[in-house]
Chains A and B, each alone.
Chain A
């Protein structure tokens, strides 16, 4: 099995090498700038530097990570590490940055190797199938190597590798290790804070107070709680301590949590707010056309501006509401996890936390859908597989408009087609198990997927043929977002139902394998 993993890793790497000349977004300049900042300035200046608009806004571990990468850079091209307001993209610079991503993806390969070994599929063949599907995960290839699009997701393979290492430790029952990995992850990239409630509840319940909650048990659990807290706080202290000592903590935090951005990202992520905005648009049209009332039209939302979001009819949403909603919808899953803290339930609760933050969070980016897709890929019953199919299809198609250059058109279509063939063909076969007479998808899911193909064809090709590239250019994006949002919301409800059902989660992960 290790052999097969090596092969997969090498093939994946070769594919990425071939994709090196692809399109680069502004994220490329962002990371080039961070290499320059960390290399040429003392630590005390890192979070103050603003020559370029791409200021450092990730937690300190990520800054140190860039620092390590920048050590080699001057040998490749000395200009990489020179701070400049203008983007710098020499061939050597492109190669170097692409190579760093490819190399750090090794973390993901290693983490997946461990993950797949721990989770209870029976045969090597199945393990490799699951791993292959994650490896070839369309979203990852897309984002790390072609996209570099938005500030949030970058070096994703590496970061998801850390997340999966932490999940593996949970499955193995090593709570301290899991907490340490997750704390490290948070100090690399704070968007994973959305998953922290699941970790908190699980570690508290499964590690500190495993049996009951009477005062005696609480007292006996205290040393464990203390050691857990020490590990997490210690790691955070290493990360933020130097800035705290210098009195720069406020500056660092203001960089990490900017609230100037709007509710929705420039492209609508397929979440609840896309549906909300869409409903607002519909109501607006109804008011204008049917009721003939004059309503002040809001500043257009889909014009590609990262700014404030206002609505015409429906009430505006302040950031606090989105956090309250996120927590509210995480709560049922957390309660269930609190009552039955198994590793299996932990993974589900983690996915549901990801869902809640994706659906209701502030300024969510499409790429955040990977928070759910990647853990859910380990679906081992037909029911779960169908949820996974729905979510991943909707999530991946919603990513397609991010690659808008013509040369990437064939790449993205072929990648998603290959991904679908492998996932539905191979993974679906294992998910179905012995019930080969049962169709892989039910009728509604088939219809949804067919509709998804139609919508994507319209958005990718049809609209331009019908209206040209100038007129109503954001209409196809809106239709795509709304249609994908429907799929994501339905898959979320389905997973919640499966998770909350009393029978689920009784089986320990490692020993018993199939839960169906």
Chain B
């Protein structure tokens, strides 16, 4: 990295996908069909409408903790936060009745909850009446809650993906851009978690993506601000923090005016965090409580939501160092099912380079979420979304891949299919009530580790070759 000279910084261009590398998939054909018939605005409208319809259709299904009093689930947690942020001053947000879904997300989440609660109360105040609205599940309030997720995604994640596609594929054809956009929007894991299970991950992921695209465009300060927003929305973004930190630090060292950049970044981070924490700065105790709530380490693992981490997988994710085009960052962490979305985002972005890997990894990620979705009664949505995704991306063909890889993919699919079939129809030994869940976890963990090994290997190989050649290969 240090060998990189200033001249190369100037000619820096984002990755160009090689058009030949990607064989046409069904989604390509569909977009080609649309764009030859119409102008690209129609294609874009159709893509967005399909994305909307799929999300809405998934959200017609069950959600986390539906009709399970007295505690309910993630849905009720989010709704409850809208209720308390709307009716209480910020100084009490992180203190109010902690045993019933006490607020434990960072302030930006709370502010967004306030906006949602405010708009919802304009329509029907009973949806967010303090204490009285606990566990409310009327069909109208349900529709409103689902629509807030859609609105947040439409405001943050979808523009972020579009910006990413335009940045990463600057020289690609319009059609190719549209079809990658289409595929990325129909990534099933995020849809079933956000619109089925009920969460607002798309905001956190979208803000992180905006940060990444900003870095790709060389706008480090903007990127840092976006990433701070992401952290302020959901602490899960911390998993990305080492990569972002390392990247920005590297920039500071390599830039001619590194110190200036360093100070600018510091001020940015300070201002963004400061603004978010300002309403809580009234007393030191409030501020302390915010941190205690946000970081579960400080309060032990006694709460249902966190204790729900039924299994700890060791997953290592890698993020790409977008600036130097080297894959730099590895970090490991403990997760529960939904956290797979964190590594899934950067891996999905590798779609342009290695679609086979992305499709396969998404399938495994979906598979790993199956026990969660099954518990909620969302098997139908799970199956339909997985099928739709593979329909769009196409099933791998033997002649396009090395034989070993092809067979490996088939073997994993066969294993996953048999575990699903057994889980659904097979006998469950009385002494091993969690047999299939454990099988699922072990298998998924194996696949994820394999992915990690492969990505690390290819990164090291690529880095090594570059060091020898002294130039990036793809320019």
Contact = CB atoms under 8 A, between A and B. Distances in A.
Interface of A: 7, 10-11, 14-15, 17-22, 95, 125, 128-129, 405-407, 409-411, 414-415, 417-418, 421-422, 425-426, 429-430
Given A14-B384, A125-B36, A409 B53 contact: no
B7 interface: no
Contact of A129 (B37, B53, B57, B387): B37
Given A18-B57, A18-B381, 4 more contacts: A411-B56, A411-B57, A414-B49, A425-B46
Given A406-B139, A407-B139, A407-B143, A18 B60 contact: yes
B458 to A, nearest CB: 32
A415 B56 CA distance: 11
A426 B38 contact: yes
Nearest to A18: B57
A95 B61 CA distance: 13
B102 interface: no
Contact of B60 (A19, A129, A425): A19
24 contacts: A11-B388, A14-B387, A14-B388, A17-B383, A17-B384, A19-B57, A19-B60, A20-B380, A125-B33, A128-B33, A406-B139, A406-B140, A407-B139, A410-B147, A411-B57, A414-B49, A414-B53, A418-B50, A418-B53, A421-B45, A421-B46, A425-B45, A426-B42, A430-B37
Nearest to A10: B391
Contacts of A19: 57, 60
A15 B34 contact: no
Among A14, A18, A410, the most chain B Cβ lie within 10 Å of the Cβ of: A18
A405 B139 contact: yes
B364 to A, nearest CB: 20
Nearest to A411: B56
Contacts of B143: 406-407, 409-410
B142 interface: yes
Pick from B56, B143, B388 the residue with the most CB of A within 10 Å. B56
B52 interface: yes
B313 interface: no
B142 A407 contact: yes
A95 to B, nearest CB: 8
B54 interface: yes
B33 A407 contact: no
Given A405-B139, A411-B56, A421-B46, A21 B61 contact: yes
A425 B140 contact: no
A411 B147 CA distance: 12
B37 A425 contact: yes
Given A14-B388, A17-B380, A426-B38, A417 B49 contact: yes
Prevailing SS type, chain A contact patch:
helix
B34 to A, nearest CB: 7
A175 B130 CA distance: 71
Interface of B: 26, 33-34, 36-38, 42, 45-46, 49-50, 52-54, 56-58, 60-62, 139-140, 142-143, 147, 380-381, 383-385, 387-388, 391
A435 to B, nearest CB: 15
B33 A415 contact: no
Contacts of A406: 139-140, 143
Contacts of B384: 14, 17-18
Q: 7 closest pairs, A vs B, by CB?
A: A18-B57, A425-B42, A418-B49, A425-B38, A429-B37, A21-B60, A426-B37
Contacts of A95: 380
A15 B61 CA distance: 13
Given A405-B139, A406-B139, A429-B37, A11 B52 contact: no
A354 to B, nearest CB: 29
A128 B143 CA distance: 35
B23 to A, nearest CB: 15
Nearest to B387: A14
A417 B58 CA distance: 19
Nearest to B42: A425
A407 B146 CA distance: 10
Contacts of B53: 15, 411, 414-415, 418
B37 A414 contact: no
B42 A421 contact: yes
Contacts of A15: 53, 57
B30 to A, nearest CB: 8
A429 B39 CA distance: 10
Contacts of B56: 410-411, 414
B37 A18 contact: no
Contacts of A18: 54, 57-58, 60-61, 380-381, 384-385
A17 B58 CA distance: 10
Contacts of B36: 125
A19 B387 CA distance: 15
Nearest to A95: B380
A405 B38 CA distance: 34
B259 to A, nearest CB: 52
Contacts of B61: 18, 21
Contacts of A425: 34, 37-38, 42, 45-46
B391 A418 contact: no
Nearest to B34: A426
A421 B384 CA distance: 24
A294 B388 CA distance: 63
Nearest to A20: B380
A429 B38 contact: yes
A405 B52 CA distance: 19
A202 to B, nearest CB: 34
A357 B144 CA distance: 41
A417 B53 CA distance: 10
B172 to A, nearest CB: 22
Nearest to B377: A91
